Structure 1
Amino acid sequence: MPNPPRRRPTPRRGRARGGRPVASADACSASSASDLRDFAGPLGGPGLARRKKARSRQARERAVEAIKTAARRSERPTVVGIANAACVSRSWLYTQTDLITAINELQQRAPAPHRAPRHAASDASLHRRLETALERNRQLRDRMNELTRKLETAHGEIRRLRTLNQPPTR
């Protein structure tokens, strides 16, 4: 039997993990016909290099602005959040060591998210859970014994019927 085709993961829209808004593709793609004017012929030429430098500079400016905005907020910044806000990839952001250092410094200054401490179960609760589990085990054991008796009876009946239908041997 051939393997079924693999499904592509559905892109997340609207919110990233943790409920943070994600910048839409339209907000991140700012290329237009005027951006393509710098191309000189089918192989690019000098205009391509200028456009690449301009795009790199713009991406860096967006990332720096996103870091500054995160510094003004009271929540703990993440690389994913900064990358989404700046419309850059996380892999590109990780290549910018000075920006990653700035994000790490902000993370050290910002308080960690407060999590409520977990409470241990009380002795009475644990005792009740144990009693419930033991009662369920007893019920299952009784049911298993009942089914075993029925199976033994069925096998005995099958054997009896086989011996009745067999021709006598001489």
Structure 2
Amino acid sequence: MRADNSQHIVDAARRRSEYTRAKAVQALRSLDLAGEPVTFETVAKRAALSRSWLYAQPDLREEIERLRAAHRRDLSSPVPGRQRTSDASLRRRLEAANARIRRLTEENQQLRE
């Protein structure tokens, strides 16, 4: 009777899957950081993968679609996603600017008096 070596095949398939996923994630990150358009085609070419494999991965598909939509909305500014200002940051800056305006207004009023 032959030994069951199927575990080696399963392990190799798992490692290949992890490697493929890592290549796709790295391609996504590098495209986004470079400010380049993120599409299924560009990710597939950069990672040397098939587009059909990317479409079959729900999390990668969602991220590609999110980055692609963000790029389309913001074609005038090729700023990478990680460097874009968040809504919370913009609110804090607005609050700080309003506080400074109030202080300056009060100071001007005191100087006039």
CA offsets 1:108-146 (integer angstroms, 9 cap, x no match): 1114768xxxxxxxxxxxxxxxxxxxxxxxxxxxxxxxx
Match of 2:44 among 70, 73, 83: 83
Corresponding residue for 1:59? Answer: 20
Corresponding residue for 1:74? Answer: 35
Match of 2:6 among 45, 49, 58: 45
Which consecutive segments of 4 or more residues in structure 1 shift more than 4 A?
none
Match of 2:60 among 99, 112, 116: 99
- Cα deviation, residue 88, structure 1: 1.4
CA offsets 1:75-124 (integer angstroms, 9 cap, x no match): 2211011011112111111110110110111111114768xxxxxxxxxx
Query: What is the alpha-carbon distance in structure 2 between the residues aligned to residue 104 and residue 51 of structure 1?
Result: 30
Query: What is the alpha-carbon distance in structure 1 between the residues aligned to residue 53 and residue 19 of structure 2?
Result: 13
CA distance 1:52–1:104, shift in 2 (3 Å): same
User: In proportion to residue count, which structure has more helix?
Assistant: 2
Query: What is the alpha-carbon distance in structure 2 between the residues aligned to residue 68 and residue 93 of structure 1?
Result: 15
What pairs with 1:9-158 in structure 2 (closer than 5 Å)?
45-111=6-72
1:85 is paired with a residue whose SS is helix
2:11 is paired with a residue whose SS is helix
**Aligned pairs, number:** 73
Q: Give the TM-score normalised by structure 2.
A: 0.57
- Cα deviation, residue 59, structure 1: 0.3
Gaps of at least 5 residues in structure 2 are 77-113
- Cα deviation, residue 44, structure 1: 5.7
Instruction: Give the fraction of aligned pairs with identical amino acids, expressed as a percent.
Output: 29
